[in-house]
C-alpha cells in the first residue's frame, strides 16, 4: 500500500508542474496591459516602464516563470495588481469560506444522492424510483445559478424563510480564528451564532449540492441494481437476513466502489460551481474573488486561485484513488 | 410451407446494422422519444425562427412596455427594455444550439484524433498525450473555461473555444480506452500483416469500431456545453448584450428578481429543457447501442 501511495504522489509532480506552466502562460495571454490597468490610462510611459521593470514584466518569459516558481515554493503568491494586497493572505482569508460551503454541499449531495439511489434500486419501478430518477434528470439539466435565483425568490425575497446572502446576521460578530464560521462560533462558545451560521449556509450549500446529487443518485441506483443481482446477495436473502442487513452490509458496501470514483470526479464540478453559487449568494469566498479579479484583470489573484483550486482538486482525486485502493485490494496489486 | 419460404427469405435479408438496431430499440423507449421530440423542437426553433422572424436585437426595444408580466400579447412577458422574452428565447435557441454543437464537434474531433493516435501508437506518444490530458483534467472544468475566456476575451467564439478545450481530454481518454482493446483484434493484425499503412488502419478500421461511445458522449456533451455556455453568459463572459443569449438574459433579470421574476424564470426553463432533451437523447442512445447497460 505504501509503495502504491508513493508511486501515486510521485506521479503528481509532472501534473502539478504542468498546472503551474499552464496557469502562468494562460494568464499572460489575457488581453490588455496589467500595468495600464494598475496605473490608469493617463500614466506616463516612464511610469509604465518603471512599474513593468519593478514587476519583472520586461524579463523573458522563462525567467519570469522561474522567478514565479521560486516565489511559489516559498509560499508567496504575489501582490494584487489593483489594490496591492498580499494574495497569500487574502487567499487564506477566503479559502475557508469556500471550503466550508463545498464540504457542506458535499455532505448534503452525498447523503441525499446515495439514499435516493439505494431506495430507488430496492424499490425499483415504484413511484419513489420514478420521481427520484425524474428529479435526478432535471437536476443534471438545470443551471445552478438559475436554481439559486429561483430558490432565493421563493424562500428569501418575499418570505424570509432562509437568508439570501452573507455568512452570519449583520448584528452578530464572531472572532476569526480558523475562518471556518462553524468552527469559530463553537470555539467562541456562541451556540446562537453557530446555528445562525448553519441557517445562512443552507441555501448556498443546497444549491451547490445539486451539482453532485443527481449523478450520485443515478450511479448508486445502477450500481446497486447490479450488486443486488449477485449470488452473494441472493445467499444473504436466502439465509433469512433482515432487509437492512442485506441492503447495507452486503449490497451497498460493494455498490459504493463506483460511487466513490464519481464523488472524486464531481469535486471539480463543486469547485467550479462554487464560483456561480458564490456570485449569486454574495458569499465572501474564492469564487467571487476570482470572478472580480478576472473582470479587473488582476492576474496574480486569478493565477493563485486557479492554481489552488486545481491543486486541491488533484489532491482530493489522489485521496479518492488511495481510498479506492484501500477498499478494493485488486487495484493496488495491478 | 409458406412459413418456411418466409423464414428462408428473411434469412436472405441483409443483417441489420448496429445503428438500425439501435434506432429500433430507441423507438420503444419513452424517455428517448421525449428527448428526440425536445431536440427536434429546439432545432426547428433555431433553424426556422431567423427565417420567419428576422430580428435585430439592437433595434428591438420599447421602454413604454418594459417588464410586463406574461399576457396574450407577450406570452412570456417583456424584459427591462420592453423586448418580448418569448421572441428572444426563440432567437437565443440558435446561439445555444450552435455553441453546443460546434463546441462538441471541435472537442470531439480533436479528442478523438488524440485518443486514436495515443492508443494506437502507445509508448512515448501515448505518455506525452495522456500527461497533457491529465493536466487539462486537473482543472475544474468551469474554472478552466472561465480562465480561457478571460485570457482570450469575452464573446461567443471564445466561449466555443473554451468549452471545446475543456471537453477534449474526456474524448481523448474514451477513444484511447476503446483503441487499446481494438488494436489487439485479429483484423487489425491482419491489416498490418498485408502492409496497410497506419493512418489507413486507424481511420478505416479502428475509428469506425470506436465511434459509437463517442457519439453517445457527444450527445450528452451538447447538453453540458449549453449549460457551460449559459453559465459563462450569466457571468458576462459569453455572448455580449444585446445578443439574446439565455444565460445573459437571466443575468439581465437579476436586479428585478423581486418584482419581475419572469425575466429570470423563462430563459432558465429554456436552458433546462434543451439540456434535458440532449440528456434524454444521449441516455436513450447509450441504452440502445449497449442494451446490457440499460439498467
> How far apart, in whole angstroms, are the C-alpha atoms of residue A4 and residue A42?
58
> How far apart, in whole angstroms, are the C-alpha atoms of residue A82 and residue A178?
27
Cell of B250: 437571466
Could you please report the per-residue DSSP string of A293-331? HHHTT-HHHHHHHHHHHHHHHHHHHHHHHHHHHHH-HHH
The sign one gets for the Cα dihedral A154, A157, A159, A160 is positive
Which of B140, B223, B271 is closest, CB to CB, to A271?
A: B140
Q: How many residues does chain A have?
A: 334
Q: Which residues in chain B have Cβ-Cβ distances shorter than 8 Å to A276?
A: 142, 231, 234-235
CA distance B48 to chain A (A): 25
**Residue in chain A nearest B276 by alpha carbon:** A141
B152–A29 C-beta distance less than 8 A: yes
* Interface check B14 vs A, CB under 8 A: no
What ranges make up the beta strands (E) of chain B? none
Beta carbons of B286 and B218 less than 8 angstroms apart:
no
What CATH architecture applies to the domain B41-51+75-293?
Orthogonal Bundle (1.10)
Q: Which residues in chain B have Cβ-Cβ distances shorter than 8 Å to A313?
A: 138-140
What are phi and psi for residue B153, nearest 5 degrees?
100, 155
* Interface check B127 vs A, CB under 8 A: no
Task: State the count of interchain CB pairs (< 8 A) between A and B.
Answer: 139
Beta bridge partners of B84: B78
Single pTM value for the model: 0.88
B131–A275 C-beta distance less than 8 A: no
Closest among B111, B112, B138, B214 to A12, alpha carbons compared: B138
B143–A310 C-beta distance less than 8 A: yes
CA distance A281 to chain B (A): 12
DSSP at B238:
S
Cβ contacts of A54 within 8 Å, gap of 6 or more: none
B276–A152 C-beta distance less than 8 A: no
Helices vs strands, H then E, count in chain A: 16, 0
The ipTM assigned to this model is 0.89
* Interface check B143 vs A, CB under 8 A: yes
**Residue in chain A nearest B153 by alpha carbon:** A31
Q: CA B42 → CA B30, B78, B109, B228, distances in Å?
A: 19, 21, 24, 18
Q: Which residues in chain B have Cβ-Cβ distances shorter than 8 Å to A143?
A: 227, 230-231, 234, 247, 250, 268, 271-272
Give tens-digit pLDDT for B30-58.
889 999 999 999 999 999 998 998 877 77
* B127 CB-contact burial (10 Å; exposed 0-12 / middle 13-18 / buried 19+): exposed
Q: Is A151 helix (H, G, I), strand (E, B) or coil?
A: helix
Task: Determine the average pLDDT of the residues in B17-24.
Answer: 79
- Domains of chain A are 87-296 (1.10.3720)
> How far apart, in whole angstroms, are the C-alpha atoms of residue A238 and residue A236?
5
Q: Which residues in chain A have Cβ-Cβ distances shorter than 8 Å to B254?
A: 149
Q: Which of A228, A272, A293, A314 to mutate to test the interface with B (most CBs of B within 10 A)?
A: A272
Closest among A292, A144, A285 to B231, alpha carbons compared: A144
What pLDDT does residue A32 have?
A: 66
> How far apart, in whole angstroms, are the C-alpha atoms of residue B198 and residue A317?
36
Q: Which residues in chain A have Cβ-Cβ distances shorter than 8 Å to B150?
A: 30, 294, 297, 302
Q: Kindly compute the dihedral angle of the four CA atoms of residues B62, A147, A312, B132, in this order, to the nearest 10 degrees.
A: -60
| Helix extents (H) in B183-235 | 186-193, 198-200, 207-234
* A215 CB-contact burial (10 Å; exposed 0-12 / middle 13-18 / buried 19+): buried
Q: Which residues in chain A have Cβ-Cβ distances shorter than 8 Å to B151?
A: 26-27, 29-31
Give tens-digit pLDDT for B164-216.
999 999 999 999 988 988 888 888 889 989 988 988 998 888 888 888 889 99
Cell of A47: 511610469
List the single range of A135-139, B94-98, B153-157, B232-236 with lowest mean pLDDT: B153-157
Residue B120 pLDDT greater than 50, yes or no:
yes
What pLDDT does residue A151 have?
A: 94
CA distance A298 to chain B (A): 11
Give tens-digit pLDDT for A247-302.
888 898 888 888 888 887 788 788 888 989 999 998 999 988 988 887 777 878 88
* Interface check B255 vs A, CB under 8 A: no
Residue B94 pLDDT greater than 50, yes or no:
yes
Q: Is B78 helix (H, G, I), strand (E, B) or coil?
A: strand
What pLDDT does residue B147 have?
A: 82
B151–A138 C-beta distance less than 8 A: no
Q: Which of B138, B166, B219 to mutate to test the interface with A (most CBs of A within 10 A)?
A: B138
* Interface check B13 vs A, CB under 8 A: no
Q: Is A158 helix (H, G, I), strand (E, B) or coil?
A: coil
Which of B138, B144, B236 is closest, CB to CB, to A15?
A: B138
Beta bridge partners of A86: A79
pLDDT 10s per residue in chain A (334 long)? 788 888 888 888 888 888 888 888 877 776 667 677 677 778 888 888 888 888 777 888 889 889 889 988 898 888 887 788 899 999 999 999 999 999 999 999 999 999 999 999 999 889 999 999 999 999 999 999 999 999 999 988 876 788 888 888 888 888 888 989 999 999 999 999 999 999 999 999 999 999 999 999 999 999 999 999 999 999 999 998 998 899 888 898 888 888 888 887 788 788 888 989 999 998 999 988 988 887 777 878 888 888 888 888 888 888 887 887 777 777 665 5
CA distance B204 to chain A (A): 33
Q: Is A86 helix (H, G, I), strand (E, B) or coil?
A: strand
> How far apart, in whole angstroms, are the C-alpha atoms of residue A201 and residue B184?
53
What pLDDT does residue A121 have?
A: 93
Q: Where are the domains of chain B?
A: 41-51+75-293
**Residue in chain B nearest A287 by alpha carbon:** B143
Which of B134, B147, B279 is closest, CB to CB, to A26?
A: B147
**SS percent in chain A: helix, strand, coil, step 5:** 75, 0, 25
What pLDDT does residue B295 have?
A: 42
Closest among A205, A331, A193 to A261, alpha carbons compared: A331
Q: CA B128 → CA A18, A97, B117, B118, B131, distances in Å?
A: 12, 37, 11, 9, 5
Q: Which of B140, B174, B247 to mutate to test the interface with A (most CBs of A within 10 A)?
A: B140
> How far apart, in whole angstroms, are the C-alpha atoms of residue A10 and residue B212?
36
Q: Which of B128, B147, B155 to mutate to test the interface with A (most CBs of A within 10 A)?
A: B147
**Residue in chain A nearest B268 by alpha carbon:** A146
* Interface check A279 vs B, CB under 8 A: yes
**Residue in chain A nearest B274 by alpha carbon:** A141
Closest among B186, B185, B177, B169 to B210, alpha carbons compared: B177
* Interface check A29 vs B, CB under 8 A: yes
Confidence of residue B107 (pLDDT cuts 50, 70, 90): very high
Confidence of residue B294 (pLDDT cuts 50, 70, 90): very low
Q: Tell me which residues of chain A, numbers 81 to 110, contact chain B at a CB-CB cutoff of 8 Å.
A: none
* Interface check A273 vs B, CB under 8 A: yes
A273–B247 C-beta distance less than 8 A: no
Long-range contacts of B159-162 (CB under 8 A, 24+ apart): B159/B99, B159/B103, B159/B229, B159/B232, B159/B233, B159/B237, B159/B238, B159/B239, B160/B99, B160/B102, B160/B103, B160/B106, B160/B229, B161/B106, B162/B228, B162/B232
Amino acid at each position: 500500500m505504501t509503495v502504491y501511495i508513493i508511486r501515486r504522489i510521485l506521479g503528481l509532480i509532472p501534473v502539478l508542474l504542468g498546472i503551474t506552466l499552464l496557469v502562468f502562460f494562460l494568464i499572460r495571454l489575457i488581453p490588455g496591459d496589467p500595468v495600464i490597468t494598475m496605473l490608469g490610462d493617463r500614466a506616463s510611459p516612464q511610469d509604465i516602464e518603471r512599474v513593468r521593470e519593478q514587476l519583472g514584466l520586461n524579463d523573458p518569459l522563462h525567467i519570469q516563470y522561474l522567478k514565479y516558481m521560486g516565489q511559489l515554493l516559498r509560499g508567496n503568491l504575489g501582490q494584487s495588481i489593483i489594490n496591492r494586497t498580499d494574495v497569500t493572505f487574502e487567499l487564506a482569508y477566503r479559502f475557508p469560506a469556500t471550503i466550508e460551503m463545498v464540504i457542506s454541499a458535499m455532505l448534503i449531495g452525498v447523503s441525499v444522492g446515495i439514499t435516493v439511489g439505494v431506495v430507488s434500486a430496492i424499490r425499483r419501478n415504484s413511484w419513489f424510483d420514478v420521481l427520484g430518477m425524474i428529479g435526478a434528470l432535471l437536476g443534471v439539466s438545470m443551471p445552478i445559478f438559475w436554481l439559486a435565483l429561483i430558490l432565493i425568490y421563493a424562500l428569501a425575497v418575499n418570505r424570509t424563510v432562509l437568508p439570501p446572502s452573507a455568512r452570519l446576521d449583520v448584528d452578530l460578530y464572531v472572532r476569526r480564528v480558523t475562518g471556518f464560521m462553524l468552527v469559530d462560533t463553537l470555539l467562541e462558545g456562541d451556540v446562537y451564532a453557530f446555528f445562525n451560521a448553519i441557517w445562512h449556509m443552507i441555501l448556498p450549500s443546497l444549491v451547490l449540492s445539486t451539482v453532485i446529487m443527481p449523478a450520485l443518485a443515478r450511479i448508486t441506483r445502477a450500481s446497486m441494481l447490479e450488486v443486488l443481482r449477485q449470488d452473494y446477495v441472493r445467499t444473504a436473502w436466502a439465509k433469512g437476513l433482515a432487509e437492512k442487513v442485506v441492503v447495507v452490509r452486503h449490497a451497498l458496501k460493494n455498490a459504493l466502489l463506483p460511487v466513490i470514483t464519481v464523488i472524486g470526479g464531481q469535486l471539480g464540478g463543486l469547485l467550479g460551481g462554487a464560483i456561480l453559487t458564490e456570485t449569486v449568494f454574495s458569499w465572501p469566498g474564492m469564487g467571487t474573488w476570482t470572478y472580480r479579479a478576472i473582470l479587473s484583470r488582476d492576474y496574480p489573484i486569478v493565477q493563485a486561485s486557479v492554481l489552488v483550486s486545481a491543486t486541491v482538486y488533484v489532491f482530493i482525486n489522489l485521496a479518492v484513488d488511495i481510498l479506492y485502493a484501500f477498499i478494493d485490494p485488486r487495484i493496488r496489486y495491478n | 410451407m409458406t412459413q418456411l419460404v418466409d423464414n428462408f427469405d428473411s434469412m436472405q435479408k441483409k443483417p441489420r446494422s448496429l445503428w438500425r438496431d439501435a434506432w429500433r430499440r430507441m423507438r420503444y423507449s419513452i424517455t428517448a422519444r421525449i428527448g428526440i421530440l425536445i431536440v427536434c423542437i429546439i432545432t426547428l426553433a433555431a433553424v426556422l425562427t431567423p427565417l420567419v422572424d428576422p430580428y435585430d436585437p439592437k433595434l428591438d426595444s420599447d421602454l413604454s412596455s418594459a417588464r410586463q408580466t406574461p399576457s396574450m400579447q407577450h406570452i412570456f412577458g417583456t424584459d427591462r427594455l420592453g423586448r418580448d422574452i418569448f421572441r428572444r428565447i426563440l432567437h437565443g435557441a440558435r446561439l445555444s444550439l450552435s455553441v453546443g454543437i460546434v463546441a462538441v464537434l471541435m472537442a470531439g474531433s480533436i479528442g478523438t484524433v488524440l485518443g486514436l493516435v495515443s492508443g494506437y501508437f502507445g509508448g512515448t506518444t501515448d505518455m506525452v498525450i495522456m500527461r497533457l490530458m491529465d493536466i487539462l483534467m486537473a482543472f475544474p472544468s468551469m474554472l478552466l473555461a472561465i480562465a480561457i475566456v478571460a485570457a482570450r476575451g469575452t464573446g461567443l467564439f471564445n466561449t466555443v473555444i473554451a468549452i471545446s478545450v475543456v471537453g477534449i481530454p474526456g474524448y481523448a481518454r474514451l477513444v484511447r480506452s476503446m483503441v487499446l482493446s481494438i488494436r489487439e483484434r485479429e483484423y487489425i493484425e491482419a491489416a498490418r500483416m498485408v502492409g496497410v499503412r497506419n493512418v489507413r488502419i486507424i481511420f478505416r478500421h479502428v475509428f469506425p469500431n470506436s465511434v459509437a461511445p463517442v457519439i453517445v458522449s457527444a450527445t450528452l456533451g451538447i447538453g453540458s456545453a449549453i449549460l457551460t455556455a449559459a453559465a459563462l453568459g450569466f457571468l458576462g463572459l459569453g455572448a455580449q448584450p444585446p445578443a439574446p443569449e439565455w444565460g445573459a438574459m437571466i443575468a439581465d433579470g437579476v436586479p428585478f428578481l423581486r418584482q419581475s421574476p419572469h425575466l429570470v424564470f423563462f430563459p432558465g426553463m429554456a436552458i433546462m429543457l434543451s439540456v434535458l432533451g440532449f440528456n434524454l437523447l444521449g441516455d436513450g442512445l447509450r441504452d440502445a447501442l449497449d442494451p446490457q447497460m440499460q439498467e
